[in-house]
Structures are given as C-alpha cells and as structure tokens.
Amino acid sequence: MVETTGKVSGKRVYSGRIVSLDVDTVRFPDGSIGELELFRHPGASAVVPFLSDPFAADPQILLIRQYRYAANGYLYEIPAGRLDPGEEPLDCARRELREETGCTAENVQFMCTTLPTPGFCDERIHIFMADGLAQGEAGREADEFMEVETFALSRALEMIQSGQIQDGKTALGLLFAAGFRVGK
C-alpha cells in the first residue's frame, strides 16, 4: 500500500518581492521520496473587461499592451495582478481593473481558475469578466509600462489564433468568455 503523497519536509532558499523558492522533500504516488524546487506565489486575479454589452454581436473589450522583461518585449494582456495578503480574488480583480485601466465595473463575474505553471509554481490565477465599465483614473505601479487598447472580441480571438496574443491567462480568459459566457 502506498503511503500518503505530499510534502515530507522543506526549506526556504529564497524570499523575494513576488515569489519565494522552496526546496521540498516530497513523497510521490508510488511511495518514493524526492526533492522538488517550487516557486511559491500568493496567487493573482485577472479580468476580461467588456467596454460594450458582452451579449452584443461582437462586443468591445479592453486589452493592455504591456512591457514584459521576461518576454523581451510587449505583450497583449488582460488586466491582472497579485493578490494582496488576505485579499479576496474578486476584490483583487476589481482593484487591478481600476489600477491598470482606470475603469470600475458595475458587474464582475467569476469565470475560472488556472494553474499557469504547475510543474514548478503553486500560483493560481482567478479569471473574471467585467462589464458596465465607468472610466476613472489609472493608478499604475512604477514598473508597469502599458497602454490600454480597445478591440472587438472577434479581433482579439484572431490575435490568439495568429500568435499576437501569447499570454496564457489572456488567451484562456478571452476564449472562456467567448465560448461560455458571452453571446449566449
């Protein structure tokens, strides 16, 4: 009989502003023991912002064109950011929408949660859609270099297909909204 899987022991080898790195000794499903490196992340929320009625024939959405050092350039993304300690994912989604686009939303609805890199990171991203937007003032962080752009949802889906949108949370959020939430 195989014993319970999971962490046997662990040690923190790095603590940073965004992530920490642990080396954990774990028991695998076959009962063997091994070491794994795991980035610990507080989690995040992301939001697909609909500028027009999501149930219109081809609704308008907002995307961020943001500089990402790790990607060596600019990416199209939906607004997103880390959860603050004790913050609920819905509150984080509303906050990030306001900070990155300047918009507040009348309606914010949960769509799904994704594990973007489960091979070495415990991050979970909670993805929402928002509509009933009202424009306000953005409050970006010092290391955020971005522009807000408007697209028809059909155009954003074409951008996923052509490879212009490469960010996973953005592709999932847009495809989920298009396939399961809007135009129904």
What residues are labeled active site? Answer: 144
Distance CA 17, CA 115 (A): 20
Distance CA 124, CA 25 (A): 22
Do 96 and 88 meet the contact criterion of CB atoms below 8 Å apart?
no
Q: How many CB atoms lie within 10 A of CB 61?
A: 26
Do 138 and 99 meet the contact criterion of CB atoms below 8 Å apart?
yes
Half-sphere exposure of 20 (CA within 13 A, CB side): 11
Give the pairing of strands 20-27 and 33-40.
antiparallel
Distances (CA, A) of 10 to 15, 30, 109, 141, 162: 14, 20, 37, 33, 42
State the helix-helix crossing angle for 168-176 and 153-162, rounded to 10 degrees: 140
Residue 56: DSSP 8-state: S
